[in-house]
Amino acid sequence: MKPVTGQKTLLSVRHLSVGYESEGKLLPAVEDVHFDLREGEVLGLVGESGCGKTTLMLSLLRLLPVAGRITRGEVRFGGQDLLDLSETEMSQVRWRDIAMIFQGAMNALNPVLPVEQQISEAIRRHDASVSAAQATRRVEELLEMVGITANRKDQYPFQFSGGMRQRVMIAMALACRPQVLIADEPTTALDVMIQAQILELLLELRERLGLAVILVTHDLGVVAEICDTVLVMYGGMTAEYSDVDRVYNHAVHPYTQNLLKAFPDLSQPNARLISIPGYPPRLDALPSGCRFSPRCPAAFERCHQETPGLYTVEEGHTARCFLVEGKV
Protein backbone atom coordinates (compact mmCIF):
# COMPACT_ATOMS: atom_id res chain seq x y z
CA MET A 1 0.00 0.00 0.00
CA LYS A 2 1.87 3.02 -1.27
CA PRO A 3 0.78 6.43 -0.13
CA VAL A 4 -0.19 8.49 -3.14
CA THR A 5 0.55 11.75 -1.43
CA GLY A 6 1.16 14.59 -3.83
CA GLN A 7 3.37 17.47 -2.94
CA LYS A 8 0.69 20.11 -2.94
CA THR A 9 -0.35 21.18 0.53
CA LEU A 10 -4.10 21.65 0.67
CA LEU A 11 -4.65 22.60 4.23
CA SER A 12 -2.25 24.20 6.62
CA VAL A 13 -3.11 24.79 10.27
CA ARG A 14 -0.91 27.01 12.43
CA HIS A 15 -1.09 27.93 16.12
CA LEU A 16 -4.75 27.05 16.26
CA SER A 17 -6.30 27.60 19.69
CA VAL A 18 -9.95 27.12 20.58
CA GLY A 19 -11.79 27.64 23.84
CA TYR A 20 -15.27 27.23 25.26
CA GLU A 21 -16.91 29.99 27.26
CA SER A 22 -18.26 28.76 30.52
CA GLU A 23 -19.44 30.90 33.43
CA GLY A 24 -17.48 33.90 32.24
CA LYS A 25 -14.27 31.96 31.75
CA LEU A 26 -12.70 30.63 28.58
CA LEU A 27 -11.76 26.98 28.95
CA PRO A 28 -8.99 26.00 26.53
CA ALA A 29 -10.06 22.97 24.48
CA VAL A 30 -7.41 23.10 21.76
CA GLU A 31 -4.09 24.89 22.11
CA ASP A 32 -1.46 25.75 19.58
CA VAL A 33 -2.01 22.92 17.12
CA HIS A 34 -0.12 22.74 13.83
CA PHE A 35 -0.51 20.35 10.94
CA ASP A 36 -0.41 20.16 7.16
CA LEU A 37 -2.54 18.07 4.87
CA ARG A 38 -1.34 17.30 1.36
CA GLU A 39 -3.27 16.13 -1.65
CA GLY A 40 -4.16 12.44 -1.32
CA GLU A 41 -2.87 12.21 2.23
CA VAL A 42 -4.64 10.30 4.96
CA LEU A 43 -3.98 11.96 8.31
CA GLY A 44 -4.95 10.16 11.50
CA LEU A 45 -6.02 12.33 14.39
CA VAL A 46 -5.76 10.18 17.50
CA GLY A 47 -6.47 10.70 21.15
CA GLU A 48 -8.75 9.71 23.98
CA SER A 49 -12.20 11.11 24.57
CA GLY A 50 -12.10 14.78 25.54
CA CYS A 51 -8.67 15.44 24.04
CA GLY A 52 -10.04 18.01 21.60
CA LYS A 53 -10.13 16.00 18.37
CA THR A 54 -13.68 16.86 17.44
CA THR A 55 -13.34 20.49 18.57
CA LEU A 56 -10.31 20.87 16.34
CA MET A 57 -12.17 19.49 13.33
CA LEU A 58 -15.27 21.59 13.95
CA SER A 59 -13.14 24.70 14.21
CA LEU A 60 -11.59 24.02 10.78
CA LEU A 61 -15.09 24.28 9.34
CA ARG A 62 -16.07 27.03 11.78
CA LEU A 63 -18.94 24.93 13.02
CA LEU A 64 -18.20 25.22 16.74
CA PRO A 65 -21.14 25.27 19.13
CA VAL A 66 -22.17 28.76 20.31
CA ALA A 67 -19.88 28.75 23.33
CA GLY A 68 -16.86 27.89 21.19
CA ARG A 69 -14.28 30.57 20.28
CA ILE A 70 -11.30 30.36 17.99
CA THR A 71 -8.82 32.46 19.92
CA ARG A 72 -5.74 32.30 17.79
CA GLY A 73 -4.13 30.83 14.72
CA GLU A 74 -4.80 30.34 11.06
CA VAL A 75 -6.34 27.70 8.82
CA ARG A 76 -4.94 28.19 5.34
CA PHE A 77 -6.78 26.55 2.49
CA GLY A 78 -6.36 27.48 -1.19
CA GLY A 79 -4.31 30.57 -0.45
CA GLN A 80 -6.68 32.09 2.07
CA ASP A 81 -7.18 31.95 5.80
CA LEU A 82 -10.56 30.33 6.43
CA LEU A 83 -10.79 32.22 9.69
CA ASP A 84 -10.91 35.54 7.78
CA LEU A 85 -13.81 34.57 5.53
CA SER A 86 -17.31 35.94 5.96
CA GLU A 87 -20.01 33.48 6.96
CA THR A 88 -21.34 33.45 3.37
CA GLU A 89 -17.91 32.73 1.91
CA MET A 90 -17.32 30.06 4.52
CA SER A 91 -20.58 28.32 3.65
CA GLN A 92 -19.21 27.95 0.12
CA VAL A 93 -16.10 26.22 1.42
CA ARG A 94 -18.04 23.77 3.55
CA TRP A 95 -19.13 20.69 1.64
CA ARG A 96 -17.76 22.00 -1.65
CA ASP A 97 -14.09 22.07 -0.61
CA ILE A 98 -14.06 20.44 2.79
CA ALA A 99 -16.75 17.94 3.73
CA MET A 100 -17.21 16.25 7.06
CA ILE A 101 -18.80 13.02 8.17
CA PHE A 102 -19.85 13.73 11.72
CA GLN A 103 -19.60 11.22 14.51
CA GLY A 104 -22.68 9.01 14.53
CA ALA A 105 -23.97 10.72 11.38
CA MET A 106 -25.13 7.47 9.88
CA ASN A 107 -27.84 7.51 12.53
CA ALA A 108 -28.79 11.08 11.67
CA LEU A 109 -30.15 10.40 8.18
CA ASN A 110 -33.72 11.58 7.86
CA PRO A 111 -35.81 8.43 8.41
CA VAL A 112 -38.80 9.58 6.32
CA LEU A 113 -36.94 10.57 3.14
CA PRO A 114 -35.44 8.22 0.55
CA VAL A 115 -31.67 8.51 0.43
CA GLU A 116 -31.72 10.02 -3.06
CA GLN A 117 -33.61 13.04 -1.83
CA GLN A 118 -31.16 13.57 1.00
CA ILE A 119 -28.09 13.38 -1.22
CA SER A 120 -29.53 15.50 -4.03
CA GLU A 121 -30.48 18.15 -1.49
CA ALA A 122 -26.79 18.47 -0.62
CA ILE A 123 -25.93 18.79 -4.31
CA ARG A 124 -28.54 21.36 -5.26
CA ARG A 125 -28.07 23.43 -2.17
CA HIS A 126 -24.49 24.12 -3.19
CA ASP A 127 -25.16 24.51 -6.90
CA ALA A 128 -28.57 25.87 -7.82
CA SER A 129 -27.89 25.42 -11.54
CA VAL A 130 -28.09 21.61 -11.25
CA SER A 131 -31.40 20.32 -12.55
CA ALA A 132 -33.36 17.63 -10.75
CA ALA A 133 -32.53 15.10 -13.47
CA GLN A 134 -28.82 15.94 -13.29
CA ALA A 135 -28.91 15.61 -9.53
CA THR A 136 -30.50 12.16 -9.81
CA ARG A 137 -27.78 11.03 -12.19
CA ARG A 138 -25.13 12.36 -9.87
CA VAL A 139 -26.71 10.53 -6.91
CA GLU A 140 -26.61 7.27 -8.87
CA GLU A 141 -22.97 7.88 -9.72
CA LEU A 142 -22.14 8.63 -6.09
CA LEU A 143 -23.92 5.56 -4.78
CA GLU A 144 -22.11 3.32 -7.24
CA MET A 145 -18.85 4.97 -6.23
CA VAL A 146 -19.37 3.96 -2.59
CA GLY A 147 -20.46 0.45 -3.53
CA ILE A 148 -24.25 0.71 -3.38
CA THR A 149 -26.22 -0.30 -6.47
CA ALA A 150 -27.94 2.76 -7.94
CA ASN A 151 -31.38 1.16 -7.85
CA ARG A 152 -31.39 1.38 -4.07
CA LYS A 153 -31.59 5.18 -4.27
CA ASP A 154 -35.32 5.19 -3.56
CA GLN A 155 -34.95 3.21 -0.37
CA TYR A 156 -35.22 4.67 3.11
CA PRO A 157 -32.44 4.67 5.71
CA PHE A 158 -34.04 1.83 7.73
CA GLN A 159 -33.65 -0.44 4.72
CA PHE A 160 -29.87 -0.10 4.94
CA SER A 161 -27.57 -1.76 7.46
CA GLY A 162 -25.18 0.30 9.57
CA GLY A 163 -22.27 -0.16 7.18
CA MET A 164 -24.47 0.74 4.22
CA ARG A 165 -25.76 3.87 5.96
CA GLN A 166 -22.16 4.91 6.54
CA ARG A 167 -21.59 4.46 2.80
CA VAL A 168 -24.59 6.69 2.13
CA MET A 169 -23.02 9.31 4.41
CA ILE A 170 -19.74 9.08 2.50
CA ALA A 171 -21.63 9.47 -0.80
CA MET A 172 -23.35 12.53 0.62
CA ALA A 173 -20.05 14.00 1.79
CA LEU A 174 -18.61 13.54 -1.70
CA ALA A 175 -21.65 15.11 -3.38
CA CYS A 176 -19.90 18.40 -4.20
CA ARG A 177 -16.51 16.88 -5.08
CA PRO A 178 -14.59 18.12 -2.06
CA GLN A 179 -10.80 17.98 -1.88
CA VAL A 180 -10.74 17.25 1.82
CA LEU A 181 -12.90 14.77 3.70
CA ILE A 182 -12.99 14.83 7.48
CA ALA A 183 -14.33 11.59 8.95
CA ASP A 184 -15.01 11.66 12.69
CA GLU A 185 -14.96 8.10 14.11
CA PRO A 186 -16.52 6.70 10.91
CA THR A 187 -16.21 3.06 11.92
CA THR A 188 -16.53 3.18 15.68
CA ALA A 189 -19.94 1.53 15.99
CA LEU A 190 -19.33 -1.00 13.22
CA ASP A 191 -18.13 -4.59 13.31
CA VAL A 192 -14.52 -5.24 12.32
CA MET A 193 -15.48 -6.76 8.98
CA ILE A 194 -17.70 -3.80 8.08
CA GLN A 195 -14.99 -1.47 9.39
CA ALA A 196 -12.51 -3.09 7.02
CA GLN A 197 -14.94 -2.56 4.13
CA ILE A 198 -15.34 1.15 4.96
CA LEU A 199 -11.60 1.72 5.39
CA GLU A 200 -10.97 -0.01 2.08
CA LEU A 201 -13.52 2.30 0.48
CA LEU A 202 -11.78 5.40 1.89
CA LEU A 203 -8.45 4.23 0.48
CA GLU A 204 -10.04 3.53 -2.88
CA LEU A 205 -11.58 7.01 -2.99
CA ARG A 206 -8.25 8.58 -2.10
CA GLU A 207 -6.69 6.65 -4.98
CA ARG A 208 -9.44 7.50 -7.47
CA LEU A 209 -10.23 11.07 -6.55
CA GLY A 210 -6.98 12.21 -4.98
CA LEU A 211 -9.04 12.95 -1.91
CA ALA A 212 -7.24 14.01 1.25
CA VAL A 213 -8.74 12.47 4.37
CA ILE A 214 -8.55 13.38 8.04
CA LEU A 215 -9.54 10.34 10.03
CA VAL A 216 -10.49 11.12 13.61
CA THR A 217 -10.32 8.04 15.79
CA HIS A 218 -9.27 6.57 19.11
CA ASP A 219 -8.31 3.32 17.42
CA LEU A 220 -4.55 3.08 16.97
CA GLY A 221 -4.95 -0.04 14.88
CA VAL A 222 -7.09 1.70 12.28
CA VAL A 223 -4.58 4.52 12.01
CA ALA A 224 -1.69 2.11 11.52
CA GLU A 225 -3.61 0.33 8.79
CA ILE A 226 -4.53 3.24 6.56
CA CYS A 227 -2.92 6.55 7.54
CA ASP A 228 0.17 8.24 6.13
CA THR A 229 0.66 10.71 8.94
CA VAL A 230 -0.50 10.85 12.56
CA LEU A 231 -1.28 13.65 14.96
CA VAL A 232 -1.53 12.41 18.54
CA MET A 233 -3.42 14.79 20.81
CA TYR A 234 -3.54 14.93 24.58
CA GLY A 235 -5.46 17.44 26.67
CA GLY A 236 -6.08 19.74 23.70
CA MET A 237 -2.44 19.88 22.62
CA THR A 238 -0.30 18.06 20.12
CA ALA A 239 1.64 15.33 21.86
CA GLU A 240 3.39 14.04 18.77
CA TYR A 241 3.11 14.55 15.02
CA SER A 242 4.89 12.67 12.27
CA ASP A 243 4.51 10.04 9.59
CA VAL A 244 2.91 6.81 10.68
CA ASP A 245 6.12 4.75 10.75
CA ARG A 246 7.97 7.11 13.06
CA VAL A 247 5.03 7.52 15.42
CA TYR A 248 4.55 3.75 15.78
CA ASN A 249 8.16 2.67 15.74
CA HIS A 250 10.12 5.63 17.07
CA ALA A 251 7.66 7.45 19.31
CA VAL A 252 9.39 9.96 21.55
CA HIS A 253 6.51 11.27 23.65
CA PRO A 254 5.82 9.13 26.73
CA TYR A 255 2.09 9.44 26.06
CA THR A 256 2.41 7.98 22.56
CA GLN A 257 4.73 5.26 23.83
CA ASN A 258 2.36 4.22 26.60
CA LEU A 259 -0.77 4.51 24.52
CA LEU A 260 0.76 2.09 22.05
CA LYS A 261 1.51 -0.34 24.87
CA ALA A 262 -2.08 -0.04 26.09
CA PHE A 263 -3.48 -1.10 22.76
CA PRO A 264 -3.90 -4.82 22.17
CA ASP A 265 -1.75 -6.07 19.31
CA LEU A 266 -2.76 -9.37 17.79
CA SER A 267 0.68 -9.74 16.26
CA GLN A 268 2.24 -9.69 19.74
CA PRO A 269 -0.19 -11.62 21.92
CA ASN A 270 2.35 -12.17 24.65
CA ALA A 271 3.30 -8.53 25.13
CA ARG A 272 2.08 -7.11 28.41
CA LEU A 273 -0.80 -4.73 28.11
CA ILE A 274 -0.32 -1.69 30.31
CA SER A 275 -2.72 0.95 31.47
CA ILE A 276 -1.78 4.56 32.01
CA PRO A 277 -2.65 5.44 35.62
CA GLY A 278 -5.11 8.27 36.18
CA TYR A 279 -7.35 9.67 33.52
CA PRO A 280 -7.32 12.43 30.88
CA PRO A 281 -7.61 15.97 32.29
CA ARG A 282 -10.84 17.92 32.31
CA LEU A 283 -10.91 21.32 30.67
CA ASP A 284 -11.86 23.05 33.90
CA ALA A 285 -9.11 21.39 35.88
CA LEU A 286 -6.04 21.35 33.68
CA PRO A 287 -2.82 20.52 35.48
CA SER A 288 -0.04 23.08 35.53
CA GLY A 289 2.96 22.46 33.31
CA CYS A 290 2.74 19.66 30.77
CA ARG A 291 -0.82 18.35 30.63
CA PHE A 292 0.35 14.78 30.65
CA SER A 293 2.72 15.27 33.59
CA PRO A 294 0.37 13.89 36.31
CA ARG A 295 0.16 10.56 34.45
CA CYS A 296 3.60 10.54 32.89
CA PRO A 297 6.02 7.86 34.11
CA ALA A 298 8.97 9.97 32.93
CA ALA A 299 7.90 13.30 34.43
CA PHE A 300 10.44 15.36 36.32
CA GLU A 301 10.28 18.62 38.27
CA ARG A 302 10.16 20.95 35.31
CA CYS A 303 7.26 19.09 33.66
CA HIS A 304 4.99 20.06 36.53
CA GLN A 305 5.82 23.75 36.22
CA GLU A 306 6.38 24.68 32.59
CA THR A 307 4.48 23.77 29.45
CA PRO A 308 6.88 22.21 26.96
CA GLY A 309 7.07 23.73 23.48
CA LEU A 310 6.62 21.81 20.27
CA TYR A 311 10.13 20.56 19.60
CA THR A 312 11.43 19.11 16.35
CA VAL A 313 12.89 15.63 16.77
CA GLU A 314 13.99 15.59 13.15
CA GLU A 315 12.57 16.92 9.91
CA GLY A 316 8.86 16.07 9.85
CA HIS A 317 8.63 14.78 13.41
CA THR A 318 7.59 17.04 16.28
CA ALA A 319 6.68 16.36 19.90
CA ARG A 320 5.71 18.43 22.89
CA CYS A 321 8.02 17.01 25.55
CA PHE A 322 11.08 18.28 27.44
CA LEU A 323 12.79 14.94 26.88
CA VAL A 324 12.97 15.82 23.21
CA GLU A 325 14.26 19.30 23.82
CA GLY A 326 17.17 17.82 25.78
CA LYS A 327 18.10 15.52 22.91
CA VAL A 328 18.08 18.08 20.13
Partner 1 sequence: MSETAAVLELRNLRKLFPAGRSGIWARTSEFVHALDGVDLRLEKGEILALAGESGCGKSTLALTLMGLEKPTQGTIWFEGEDVTRQSRAGRQRLCRQIQMVFQDPYESLNPLMTIGEIVAEPLDVHRLAQNREERRGRVEKALEEAGLKPAHIFMNRLPHELSGGQRQRVVIAAALVLEPEVLLADEPVSMLDVSIRAEILNLLAELRERRGISVLLITHDLATSAYLADRVAVMYLGRIVELGETQAVLESPAHPYTQALLSVIPVPNPRKRRERIILQGQPPNPVHVPAGCRFHPRCPKVMERCRVEDPVLAAVGAGSHQAACWLVSGGGSDE
Contacts to partner 1 by CB under 8 A: 1, 48-49, 161, 163, 191-197, 200, 218-225, 227, 244-245, 248-249, 258-260, 262-267, 269, 273-276, 279-280
Measure the CA–CA gap between 69 and 64, rounded to whole angstroms.
8
Smallest distance, Å, CB 235 to partner 1? 12
Q: Which CB contacts under 8 angstroms, 24+ apart, belong to 119-128?
A: 119/143, 119/168, 119/171, 119/172, 119/175, 122/95, 122/172, 122/175, 122/176, 123/175, 123/176, 126/92, 126/95, 126/96, 126/175, 126/176, 127/176
In DSSP terms, 70 is beta-bridged to 18
Smallest distance, Å, CB 320 to partner 1? 17
Q: Name which of 21 and 265 has its Cβ closer to partner 1.
A: 265
Q: Name which of 227 and 303 has its Cβ closer to partner 1.
A: 227
Measure the CA–CA gap between 59 and 70, rounded to whole angstroms.
7
Q: Name which of 78 and 221 has its Cβ closer to partner 1.
A: 221
In DSSP terms, 314 is beta-bridged to 317
Q: Residues 241, 35: contact at Cβ < 8 Å?
A: yes
The alpha-helical segments, DSSP class H, found in 50-161 are 53-60, 87-93, 115-126, 132-145
Q: Name which of 279 and 300 has its Cβ closer to partner 1.
A: 279
Smallest distance, Å, CB 199 to partner 1? 8
Smallest distance, Å, CB 87 to partner 1? 36
Q: Name which of 1 and 128 has its Cβ closer to partner 1.
A: 1
Smallest distance, Å, CB 182 to partner 1? 20
Give the pairing of strands 212-217 and 229-234: unpaired
| Per-residue CA distances from 138 to 96, 105, 122, 130, 132 (Å) | 15, 21, 11, 10, 10
Smallest distance, Å, CB 132 to partner 1? 32
Q: Name which of 16 and 42 has its Cβ closer to partner 1.
A: 42
